[in-house]
Amino acid sequence: MVARAELPDPARVPVYRLTRRGRSLEPVLHALHQWGRPLLDDPRGPSDLRAALPVMALRAVFRPEDAEGVESVFEFRVEGQSFQALVADGHMELLVGSQHPPDVVATADAVTLADVAAGRAGAVDALAAGTLRLEGEPDALAEFVRLFGHNPSLHPRA
């Protein structure tokens, strides 16, 4: 279900990726996350937030049914770390680092990204407050919102 790989230079660190069989569990994990989301505590608790956690939570708001025929790279820059979501024809793969030229770049701190992903905060408010920045062409930004925006207040800025 998991295969080991190595990131290209300059990182050159081992990573683990889901195999095709492992990715087949995504609908199950997505359903479990949707079921448990109301039970999650506020992420501002005593434990440290890791930058990767809110990015991984984006799997729960990704809408594969809206991504049929889409080929895009969305990059998330969180507290000095970069992560990419490669969307290809209804599937999404999360990568550590900046391995491909992004169509959209979202920059935020971990708490802001977690709040927006979980629907506790609106992206428009985070954009206005300056805690979230989106860069990219208007069409790519609209596509980003369509694929990841479960929150009704998530709209692209003109």
Q: Domain residues of the chain, as ranges?
A: 47-148
User: How many angstroms separate the CA atoms of 129 and 45, rounded?
Assistant: 22
CATH superfamily of 47-148: SCP2 sterol-binding domain (3.30.1050.10)
User: How many angstroms separate the CA atoms of 123 and 46, rounded?
Assistant: 25
pLDDT value at position 149? Answer: 63
pLDDT value at position 86? Answer: 92
Contact present, 101 and 73 (Cβ < 8 Å):
yes
Give 84-134 pLDDT, tens digit per residue.
Answer: 999 998 888 888 889 899 999 999 988 888 787 777 777 778 888 999 898
* pTM recorded for the entire structure: 0.62
Give me the torsion for CA of 117, 91, 155, 107, rounded to 10°.
Answer: 60
pLDDT value at position 50? Answer: 60
